[in-house]
Amino acid sequence: MIEDAEGFKFPKVDTFTCVNCGLCEKVCPMLHPESERSVKRVIGAKHQNAVVRKASSSGGVFSLLAEIFIIEGGVVVGCEMDKNLQAVHIICETLEDIIRLRSSKYVQSNVEGVFPQIRKLLLDGRKVLFSGTPCQVAGLQRFLIKPFDNLYSVDVLCHGVPSPKLFKEYKEMLEQQYGSHARFISFRSKKKEWKRLYINLHFDNGKEYFKNATFDPYMQLFLGNKSQRNACFHCPFTTTNRQGDLSLGDFWGIGRDFPDLDDDKGISMILINSDKGKEMYSKIMRQIISFESNLDQAIYGNKVLVENILGEMQRNRYYATYVAEGLQVSFNKHTQHYSFWREYYIRLMRWGLDFIRYMRHTSY
């Protein structure tokens, strides 16, 4: 796997050792995105434990699923931000470990070496719950070649993945500004609210960076579709034919049809896509507050179920600047900068708009 100038890794065939067996193409998920799974039920849910829910990106459903797998003697594989704040997939076998998998990571994760370990666990008879983007779930299934009854999968509703190199340089920029090593990050802090995104970093010297996504350059690029991998604009997994047994995401727009449940603390969307998905849901249904919904409501708040992200040309313009002139120049040219008073004004106007919505009982 060779990293390009943008910081994304791509496979490169060693022509001297290649025997033209074609196996790499046979197992490539981008060439073979087919799935027999499709959405059977749409459910909105939230964890009954408020602490777990607050530490999660949405309603805390994944934490509950992971706990059950661990208690039953299985293993859970998912993404964490390691001590250097790099997104990596890890294998968890304790309840303490799964805390590291909570919350969204808006950067492409490294799965190097994990798939062979999963195969060994499956062959040993262990139950495995794998969580990742739809392309990662598809990649694992193609890698294994044959189905395993003891493999369960969860795909997340995905908005595309930014470059690990870009995020690393952004983190180092903040470390230089705060004069300390960053030890923790939350791309989706709920310190204030759920509906509007806040990014939060903690540093070893006790300082803290906390910004609404509107005012943070990295999050502006991500939400504006300027930092994602090229393939994300042509993603074959943006469909209701899902790769995972369950699909999980935020239930955006929940206030339109379920205003009483719209408490701005996070609601999970659960898509049940297979018999294994039904089995997993049956094990958590008594420990969550849930309600039935439908696919139209799911698509209303999550267009990534049926539509690819747009803006590939502006994405290419951004990375051309980034590669040629570096991080700081690319931020200056391609993100919006706000003065203190301008930022204060926007926050005040948002507060007023939220108050009006609350009084009128209209959705976010």
Query: What does the pLDDT read at residue 9?
Result: 96
Burial class (CB in 10 A: 0-12, 13-18, 19+), 13: exposed
Residue 146: is its pLDDT beyond 60? Answer: yes
Residue 149: is its pLDDT beyond 80? Answer: yes
**Mean pLDDT within 351-359:** 71
Residue 363: is its pLDDT beyond 60? Answer: no
**Mean pLDDT within 219-225:** 97
Give me 337's structure tokens: 């900068």
Task: Tell me the torsion sign for CA atoms 25, 29, 31, 36.
Answer: positive
Residue 191: is its pLDDT beyond 60? Answer: yes
Q: Please give the angle made by the CA atoms of 82, 86 and 90, to the nearest 5 degrees.
A: 55
Residue 101: is its pLDDT beyond 70? Answer: yes
Q: What is the mean pLDDT of the chain?
A: 93
Cα–Cα distance measured from residue 2 to residue 36, given in angstroms and rounded to the nearest whole number: 32
Q: What share of the chain is helix, strand, coil (3-state, %, to 5)?
A: 40, 20, 40
pTM (two decimals): 0.92
Determine if residue 20 is left, alpha or beta; phi over 0 gives left, psi from -120 to 50 gives alpha, anything else beta: left
Using pLDDT thresholds of 50, 70 and 90, give the confidence band for residue 126: very high
Determine if residue 113 is left, alpha or beta; phi over 0 gives left, psi from -120 to 50 gives alpha, anything else beta: left
- Number of Cβ within 10 Å of residue 6's Cβ equals 19
Q: Taking the mean position of all CA atoms in its chain, how far away is CA 119? A: 24
